Chain A
């Protein structure tokens, strides 16, 4: 693959929280049209990497390149207006606002004014949201909230979708629904997806390529299938984790 095919490139990134180092020189690429998963244990630095890409906190050294442009020092709100969308960890929908308003929040700041088309796409992807469109976000179930978080991120018509733990706290059946939707988006719309997950089995099965992070460093990488087959990965992340 040529360098120009990288949509997102993380080069030797280090991130600190005060004096504590969270990322120790991470290298990672996401190519156009790919689903890339990052798996790792609690506290490995997965979410920190995700947030460093978004600019909160900013990397203390190294570079984050999006679509050929260095976004390492860019303020978060400008990064998020660059056809990058994120569904944050813990869903973080707006509980008092209606489902419709939640969705519109996703479109407004990114400058996507074709609301009708965006809403149509969201409701096609998750019909449940259409039924619930006038309900408060806070009254949705966990799975519906996750759907809403993803749909809200998609409203900006992104080229790169960042998903932070979409399976968090959800029933296996709902997890399957969500992951099917992600695969669908990738296959039909060509959406590039970067996924951070603890649910290693689903994440590896879904991904074209994947990385394993331990203690702020990437320790393994390969195709999803390769990593799934490796014994050390199975021992560390998949014991009893297969739903």
Chain B
């Protein structure tokens, strides 16, 4: 196989998988509005995506806020701009770090397990059994998971915002000895409501991406236990990449 052929193949696969992904997105969307509605299943998935992710989100965002404060303080100290540490930490957390880190952490925690779960159902014929029982797997499995992602990721991001800014405050005030009142004022000085919204909108998209990717990868699993392993890895890798791509374009779009 020559180089051009290989490149061509990679692109063909990429297009094919993109097509599958958007096809499933459309099916998920359509099935969302068709009865019966799985109230209990929606709640269960929300607990799984949201509530169960709190410890991970707690540690990740808090420490990121703390290290952000530490690093910017070191840098800004050299140009005597220590006053702006609070503003930078808040802006970075709200606009960028909290949504992206929460998205990536939840991808690793939940996106992977969704791929493994649905993939196992595929290889043990449970997906066929669902259909044989007159139940569309997209409706029963995809819809509750994707809804949970879209609803819970913004909520986790709000938590992350608070913890990140709080962690920054702890380091700035307790460790670096900044004046508490001045630090707080600086934190809010340059913030707009828009900063909060753009982070939350992004995180809703990330929630959609990570859950749908997990489901789609699981759905198209082939080849026993090994296939489930591959699907799980692929779900995490592709969801993470898509999140980072979309992050750039959404940021450009939302300012």
A binds B: no
